[in-house]
Chain A
Amino acid sequence: MNFDALPLEDPAAQARLHARLVADAEREGLLDLAYRTVDTPVGSLLLAATPVGLVRVVYENVGHDAELTRLTETVSPRVLHAPARLDTVAWQLDEYFAGRRTAFDVPLDLRLARGFRLAVVEHLPAIQYGRTETYAQVAAAAGSPKAVRAVGTACATNPVPVVVPCHRVVRSDGSFGGYAGGRDAKRTLLTLEAA
Chain B
Amino acid sequence: MDRYGAMVLRVCRAVLGPTDAEDAWSETFLAALKAYPGLPEDANVEAWLVTIAHRKALDVWRADRRRPVAVAEVPDRGRADEWHGDLWAALARLPHKQRLAVAYHHLAGLPYAEIAAITGGTTDAARRAAADGMKRLRTLYTEEETA
Contact = CB atoms under 8 A, between A and B. Distances in A.
Nearest to A5: B84
Interface in B68-98: 78-80, 83-84, 87
B33 A30 contact: yes
B22 A1 contact: no
A17 B30 contact: no
Interface in A57-104: 76-81
Given A10-B6, A17-B25, A3 B37 contact: no
B129 interface: no
Interface hub of A6, A25, A28 (most chain B Cβ within 10 A) = A6
Contacts of A79: 1
B5 interface: yes
Contacts of A6: 10, 83-84, 87, 107
A161 B78 CA distance: 42
Interface string A2-21: 11011111101110111011
A80 B33 CA distance: 10
A3 B106 contact: yes
B26 interface: yes
Instruction: Indicate the size class of the contact surface on chain B.
Output: 20 to 34
A112 B141 CA distance: 55
Contacts of A5: 84, 87
Contact of A13 (B34, B79, B84): B79
A122 interface: no
Contact of A77 (B22, B26, B36, B138): B36
B26 A7 contact: no
A8 B10 CA distance: 8
A28 B33 CA distance: 10
Interface of B: 1-2, 5-6, 9-10, 22, 25-26, 29-30, 33-34, 36-37, 39, 78-80, 83-84, 87, 106-107, 134, 137-138, 141
Which 10 pairs between the two chains have the least Cβ-Cβ distance? A1-B138, A30-B33, A77-B36, A9-B6, A21-B29, A13-B78, A5-B84, A24-B30, A78-B33, A20-B26
Given A5-B84, A13-B22, 16 more contacts: A1-B137, A2-B106, A7-B84, A8-B6, A13-B78, A13-B79, A14-B5, A16-B78, A17-B5, A18-B5, A21-B26, A21-B29, A28-B34, A30-B34, A78-B33, A81-B2
